[in-house]
Copies of this chain bind each other. A is one copy, B any other.
């Protein structure tokens, strides 16, 4: 089954909004073994929408659209689709009823524009939108011998995600013809640059059969290797290849699954019934935000001190004035005291700490931009690591966050 995705909205094409919807939809389809052939973003423009649809209907079995369903004038997707499939907009009682219920506790948002939301294409199947007022619309059409499913969803990410999971995918599953499954295996590798890694595993890669495909996905110091089969190779065959790969990579392997780093860290902490906190200077709360990102994180994450200024490093974390004066804020000595201070002040078993020059300014000859000290304090000792990164601020803080979480993960994995 082949899918095309069409995301609609002027805001996407002037770069005001990053299109996260496509990635979410691709992921969902991938989980259902549906291959996405193409993603295209077009303006809120009738002709562009029609031409993208024409193109998609020619080759795809499933066409998913997002965006352009709001009540305001610039949103034209609903009418465009109604006419594309040869119809007009008509009032729909069920949708009206739903919108009344949705807004019953918020009468202030109820107005004549909301009312345009229960006008729906007469030729569409309407699926319920649990969290919003825009209708979910589905069409099924024969193109030659193929039956094509076209579904239109809101562009607001959380509405789209719920629509996709609760309505569109069940509908598609109920109507699709089963095809060959895609299977993936992942290996997360840290600390080896992509091209070095590729050479290190070149022989292994060259010996892969035609039915398997290897991709390198580098990000912030981690390279995720993804080995995929498109139906012809079995999961067991993939596992066999991975078992040959792992010894070639040794200690560089962080995980053999595709989970976010903070989830892997959380799993280890839960296994050990241990808690963690952070003391952050240059990362400015990024580690805290990751550790608290997922539901249930309060079982292992207690808190953090973002000690951006030297005063906070001293007053809250207990870093000694003489340490800062003698060695500077960006030093092994400081980052050790920060990590120890975090453990003590936050009352956790483990704590990580960061202090560095994130850039773009602030570097010296001794400590150029990208010089970043990290530490992991455990109940037994403090481990430190010095990073030499680049000059890009965001990149540096992201890479530091990954580096320190990888260090923590390895220490926890060995417990």
Contacts and interface: CB of A to CB of B under 8 A. Distances in A.
Interface of A: 10-20, 22-30, 35-44, 48, 52, 70-74, 108-109, 111-114, 131, 133, 156, 158, 184, 193-196, 198-199, 202, 205, 213-219, 224, 226, 258, 277-278, 280, 284-289, 291-298, 301-309, 311-312, 315-316, 345-347, 358-361, 390, 392-395
A108 B196 contact: yes
B309 A303 contact: yes
A257 to B, nearest CB: 13
Given A214-B74, A226-B16, A360-B295, A196 B289 contact: no
A113 B10 CA distance: 41
A331 to B, nearest CB: 17
6 contacts: A15-B29, A74-B213, A133-B195, A284-B289, A286-B289, A303-B316
B303 A306 contact: yes
Chain A binding surface, main DSSP class: mixed
Number of copies of this protein chain within its complex: 2
A194 B307 contact: no
A295 B393 contact: yes
Nearest to A206: B73
A347 B312 CA distance: 8
Nearest to A223: B72
Nearest to A359: B295
A311 B307 contact: no
A285 B295 contact: no
Nearest to A186: B16
A302 B291 contact: no
